[in-house]
Homo-oligomer: A and B are copies of this chain.
């Protein structure tokens, strides 16, 4: 509220192994939570294969549309690591050995082990700024509003820490979650009315199954999100009163996202 236009972001997940179903992506949820903490809205995610034209098209579409673009994957030393070249093409910049990256990598390997392929990990678009990480030596890089990171989750997470101070923070989204042991179809009309009265917040409704093992009955998780703490609290209270009017005590949920 009152801090200008929202700061937005997109994530581009690059890699055949995700699309083939070999690997479950876990980076998107990490980045989503990281950005939420900074008040930055993750607005779109795309997954594309290791095909240069596909990467270039997605980078161009996303970097223009959002404040920031984060990519994961494709920056290693092997032939299937084509992200740097694709980013260079998307920006119309030459891709060359970055002196600082080359120096970092040269310290990590013996001269004999520092072969042409490992030197490739220093290839970046001209003008790139390194994204260092505490796990591996090979850096990612920032060019313009695009942050190019590793696909290995542990390395990607460390790179986010290096990126953090470079990002403009937005007003943090506040959320309140309530669980009600009622089917969502039974409260949908009343919920819609609450949503209509509070256009500055968004109410999400997520049904869940019961669990015969614990004896917990089915119900609905209701998540109120917005940037105005008072508005979020008021809408959450109306939802709680709705549940009570139907004879059910709402349960507060601690994960505030």
A19 & B47 in contact (Cβ 8 Å cutoff): no
* Docked pose: A72 CA to B15 CA in angstroms: 21
A185 & B43 in contact (Cβ 8 Å cutoff): no
Known: A185-B113, A185-B115, A185-B118. Is A32-B28 also a contact (CB below 8 A)?
no
Q: Does A192 reach chain B (CB closer than 8 Å)?
A: yes
Partner of A20, one of B19, B36, B44, B113: B36
A21 & B36 in contact (Cβ 8 Å cutoff): yes
* Docked pose: A79 CA to B192 CA in angstroms: 5
B207 & A79 in contact (Cβ 8 Å cutoff): no
Collect the chain B residues with CB atoms within 8 Å of residue A116's CB.
Answer: 189
* Docked pose: A203 CA to B35 CA in angstroms: 33
Chain B min CB distance to A45 (Å): 4
Known: A43-B49, A44-B48, A204-B16. Is A257-B185 also a contact (CB below 8 A)?
no
Collect the chain B residues with CB atoms within 8 Å of residue A203's CB.
Answer: 79-80
Known: A76-B184, A192-B79, A195-B79. Is A46-B43 also a contact (CB below 8 A)?
no
Partner of A202, one of B76, B80, B117: B80
B21 & A32 in contact (Cβ 8 Å cutoff): yes
Map CB proximity to B onto A229-257 as digits: 1 under 8 Å, 0 otherwise.
Answer: 00000000000000000000000000101
Could you list 13 examples of A-B contacts with CB < 8 Å? A16-B204, A17-B223, A22-B175, A44-B49, A77-B184, A78-B192, A78-B205, A79-B191, A79-B192, A80-B195, A109-B185, A120-B188, A152-B209
